[in-house]
Amino acid sequence: PPIREMPYSDPRAYQREWAEFLGVPVERTDTANGVAFRFVLIPPGTFRMGSPADVVARLLAQPNLGDWARDRYRAETERRVTIRRAFYLGTTEVTFAQFAAFVAHARYETRAERGAAGWGYRGSGVGFRGPGAGWEEARGFNWKSAGDYKPAPNHPVVNTARDDAVALCKWLSAATRGTCRLPTESEWEFACRAGRYGLWAHGDDPEQLKRFAVYGTEVPAAVGTRAANPFGLFDMHGNATERCALEDLWTDDPHRSANRSAAIYPVRGGRFNEASADAWPDDFRAARRTWEHHDSLAAGFRVLREVPQ
């Protein structure tokens, strides 16, 4: 089939068209160490990645912006990108149960467990709220021990470094005889938009974001509890932020973070506690872009599985 340019009148039909052509299912499940990893097929396509000039101008016009925020918004400069190969993407962020299966089978020790400072929640009262409640960074917090926050099996795993995410991908590749990795930024944004333009996959209405994203909460929520986007992906706009891989497409980007020391690894999506429920949720837009040091433990991730073509 032709590689079509967004927007798509029927993203699901386009998805099925490519699945039929490639002879693969739209949805697939792989099992590793007794735990299921579910994926959906993302077709190739051409799209305008980033934000239109008027949106970037609006973001830059906000008062009291620091240099970090200005660099983030300038890095959203819109450009035309073509995704030339279909791929599978995890329907949700990697969960606590999935990560636990990897750790147990591979006998893996995360960066935080080796002594790096992780993030822990100190809270009280209903919904974890109370005087002095909040997240703090300190040694002793890790993916399975985060203070008063006790992750459930179906919560997104947090307190993992980039190396930890890459290690799970390599383990899953071996366990499923496939090629698993982190998505690049262009793959992530194309999948997030799911055939549509706008601030979010559902359009430009911030009120509707409550249906699709976890935000304005003190701690993460179970994955898949909000509505899926048209490609069948959950929590792309918000729950844990998601690590992405570097790609050649962005190496000439003057705003990517050359002036940010080693903080060069891209992170996409919004974080559960980055905005209050009644705030304009700019941090949860499809084009939202930021970076973190590879040692940072502040993000989650989802897995891409390549399709042999």
Please report which confidence band the pLDDT of residue 124 belongs to, taking 50, 70 and 90 as the band edges. Answer: low
3-state secondary structure of 267: strand
3-state secondary structure of 238: strand
3-state secondary structure of 305: strand
pLDDT digits (tens, 9 = 90+) for 51-101: 999 999 999 998 888 888 888 888 888 988 889 999 999 999 999 999 999
pLDDT, average across residues 28-32:
97
Full DSSP string of 73-97? HHTTB-EEEEE-S-EEEESSPPBHH
pLDDT digits (tens, 9 = 90+) for 203-213: 888 888 889 99
Task: Pick the closest to residue 269 from 180, 175, 192, 198 (CA basis).
Answer: 192
Residue identified by tokens 């559902």 is 202
pLDDT score, position 263? 52
Please count the CA atoms within 13 angstroms of the CA of 258 that sit on its side-chain side: 7
Rg of the chain taking only CA atoms, in angstroms: 19
pLDDT at 275 over 70: no
Other C-beta atoms closer than 10 Å to the C-beta of 183 total: 25
Please, where are the H alpha helices in 159-277? Answer: 162-176, 185-193
pLDDT, average across residues 117-141:
76
For residue 170 the two structure tokens come to 């390599």
pLDDT digits (tens, 9 = 90+) for 97-110: 999 999 999 999 99
**E strands in 43-149:** 45-49, 79-83, 87-90, 118-122, 134-138
3-state secondary structure of 182: coil
pTM, to two decimals: 0.92
Q: Which residue has the higher pLDDT, 70 or 154?
A: 154
